[in-house]
Structure formats: structure tokens, C-alpha cells
Amino acid sequence: MANVKLAVIFYSMGGTNYQLAKWAEEGAKETGAEVKVLKVEELAPESIIQKNEVWKKTVEATKDVPIATGDDIEWADAIIFSVPTRFGNMPSQMKQFLDIQGGLWATGKTVNKVVSAMTSAQNPHGGQEATILSLYTSMMHWGAIIVPPGYTDQVLFGAGGNPYGTSVSVDQNGKMIEDVQAAVKHQAKRTVTVAEWVKRGNQ
């Protein structure tokens, strides 16, 4: 699978989705995939960010992570998105990133990209599944191939059993409640495996 190129594209305010992205990178690299971890551009005003210590720390922790571009989408055979939920939807930062890929979409360069998604929220019913589905809706328009984890491994049940994509609840102190590391790695490996099938069958 060394020839599969995976972009892990995240948005993170509190650090959770950055951690999920890094676990996905680890899992994918274990299969031999070439991986880029990328963040989407921050749109929130600096004045708002500066009032939130956790947000400020995340901005600092991710300052050296490259910002995702359309070139990264074009480069990738597979993409894993990781975002927090915002009222049951993806954050505006990720939405804008997807919205500005119209040029790639119009020229067919998003077709047959293999995609999967992960998310987080402050409670198990805080919109986790709806957020992933909001992302997958855009992917259907892209002509992408959506690869959910389903119930393809026992590790998924220990992580809460979300068949749409790994999701984690985060407590008031920013700590993950469920142990999702193994589920994230499984999802990444499954995404890379399907991407390899698609790539091999398309040659």
C-alpha cells in the first residue's frame, strides 16, 4: 500500500481533533501509506481566540501544521476529515474549505477520492452522527467513495460503536471520555485499504 496517498484534514479548537488526526496518521503509516496531516484555515477573529485559553493553546500547538489546499485534495487518493460538531454540523472553517474546491469539482478531480470522517462533541448525543453525515453529503456531490467504519472490528464497540465514523465525547476539562485510539487507527487502515483497491482497479 506504499503508493496510497492519504490527506488527514482537520479543524480543532480544543485539540481533540488534532489528536484524532495524529492517530489516523499513525494507523495509515502502519500500512505503508504516504500521509499528510493538514489543518483548514482558521476563520475566527483573533480577538475571540485570545479570550479562550484552550483555543489559544491549540492554535500554538498546531502553528507548524500546513494549511490544506486544493492541491492537497488533488494529490490525495484518500482523505480523512476530522472535525468537532457545531450544532450538528461541521464547523464553518471546514465548510469554507470544502466550498472553495468548486474548481476541482467542476473538472472532475474529486471523483473517486476515498473519504472517511471523524468527529467530537461534549456529549454522546451532541450531534456526532449528524456532523459526519453533513460532511458525507458534500462528499456525495464530489463523487467520492465514502468508507465508514461500520462494525468491521471489535475495537469500534469500545469506542462507542459509531458506524458512520469514529466519534468521541469530551468532558468539561477537554479530556476524551471514550478510548478511541484503536478505532481511529482501524478506520484509517480501512480507508487506506479501500483506496488501494480503488487505485489498483483503476490502473
Q: Tell me the pLDDT tens digit for each residue of 9-41.
A: 999 999 999 999 999 999 999 999 999 999 999
Helix (H) / strand (E) element for 136: namely: helix 128-142
- Looking at residue 2, its pLDDT comes to 55
Query: Interior CA angle at 113 toward 84 and 73, to 5°?
Result: 65
Please answer whether residues 48 and 76 qualify as being in contact, where contact means their C-beta atoms are separated by less than 8 angstroms.
no
pLDDT greater at residue 1 or residue 40: 40
Please answer whether residues 9 and 40 qualify as being in contact, where contact means their C-beta atoms are separated by less than 8 angstroms.
yes
Q: Tell me the pLDDT tens digit for each residue of 133-170.
A: 999 999 999 999 999 999 999 999 989 999 999 999 99
Average pLDDT over residues 110-130: 95
**Helical H runs in 1-77?**
16-30, 46-49, 53-61, 70-75
Q: Tell me the pLDDT tens digit for each residue of 48-62.
A: 999 999 999 999 999
This prediction has a pTM of 0.96
Domain that holds residue 31: 5-201
Residue 202 — pLDDT band, cuts 50, 70, 90?
low
- Looking at residue 174, its pLDDT comes to 87
- Looking at residue 124, its pLDDT comes to 86
- When divided into structural domains, the chain yields a total of 1
Average model confidence (pLDDT) across the chain? 95
Bridge partners for 167 per DSSP: 119
- The half-sphere exposure of 193 on its side-chain side, counting CA atoms within 13 A, is 12
SS3 34: strand
pLDDT above 90: residue 97: yes
- Looking at residue 178, its pLDDT comes to 93
CATH of residue 149: 3.40.50.360
The maximal CA–CA distance of the chain, rounded, in angstroms, is: 52
Concatenated DSSP letters of 56-124: HHHHHHTTTSPBP-HHHHHH-SEEEEEEE-BTTB--HHHHHHHHTTHHHHHTTTTTT-EEEEEEEESST
Distance, in Å, from the CA atom of 35 to the CA atom of 40, rounded to the nearest integer, reads 16
